[in-house]
Amino acid sequence: MNGGDPRPGQIDLWYVPLADFGDDDQAACFRLLSPPERERHDAFRSESARLQHLAARGLVRTTLSRYRDVAPDQWRFETNRYGRPSIDGSLQISGLHFNLSHTHGMAVCAIASVEEIGVDVESRDRDAGLDELAATVLSRQERERFDTMQGQARGDFFFTLWTLKEAYVKARGMGLALPMNGILVDLESSAPAVHFSDEIADDPARWTFRSLPLEAGYIVGVAAALPADKLKIRPARTRAINLPTTP
């Protein structure tokens, strides 16, 4: 997973358990940050949020440098009007796209050659007030099933759907401008099948959704504008300073 473009249809999924994010890696990541990234880092009041941001920024900078001959501190980024980050056009990088997600204890970076990719990670044990969230995240059909479930199965069902929907709206680059309860995901099929309400205004045939577990109780949702038979996801555990080791 080093150098060049990801293969067509392939998503390289690099993830960092923040239990491994020690002082040396934190200092190395901080040195890579641009002035705006440092300002945002310093603005976080929560230590957990600060570490998530720092790990994610170090991860994306060093990971992108695996694929292009650009030093980690030389990457520049821009955001669209909804806040989705991408590689700054001034760098004239083509065929390389990324999406980031982080939560308490984990940071994830997806790399692909297709622009419309999204990734979201959550802890299966997160205490997130599921009943309140379900009203805005789940479709009517999903909510009916959710209400019949109990215990871990209930949480797993919710977080599988939530991460897939978050991944999709991130792939579209529109975030919360798209109503999540207008996305219906069928988890009964061999791979998650998606249907959209009229509010979403998209063709479900364009999309492939995948859900996969990570270690230590985390779950990842991936959405990509790729045919299902072409999509391959390659997860790899790494460090936030994700550079190839020298023999």
- What are the backbone dihedrals phi and psi of residue 121, each rounded to the nearest 5 degrees, phi first? -125, 140
> Domain spans of the chain?
10-237
- Which amino acid, 29? C
Asked whether the predicted pLDDT for residue 2 surpasses 90, the reply is: no
Higher pLDDT, 15 or 125: 15
| pLDDT in the model for residue 245 | 66
Backbone angles phi and psi of 217, in degrees to 5: 80, 20
Calculate mean pLDDT across residues 6-10: 87
Indicate if the pLDDT at residue 246 is higher than 50. Answer: no
Task: Indicate if the pLDDT at residue 7 is higher than 90.
Answer: no
Instruction: List the structure tokens of 52.
Output: 């998530």
pLDDT on residue 247: 42
Q: What are phi and psi of 200, to 5 degrees?
A: -75, -35
At 104 the pLDDT is 93
pLDDT at 175: 83
pLDDT recorded at residue 183? 96
Cα 202 from chain centre: 20
Euclidean distance between CA atoms 179 and 95, whole angstroms: 29
**Total residues found in the chain within this entry:** 247
Q: Are 211 and 223 in contact (CB under 8 A)?
A: no
Query: What is the amino acid identity at position 5?
Result: D
pTM of the model: 0.94
Q: DSSP assignment, residue 65?
A: H
Instruction: Note the pLDDT tens digit of each residue in 82-128.
Output: 999 999 999 999 999 999 999 999 999 999 999 999 999 999 887 67
Selected from 3.40.640.10, 1.10.10.10, 1.10.3290.10, 3.90.470.20, the CATH number assigned to the domain covering 10-237 reads: 3.90.470.20
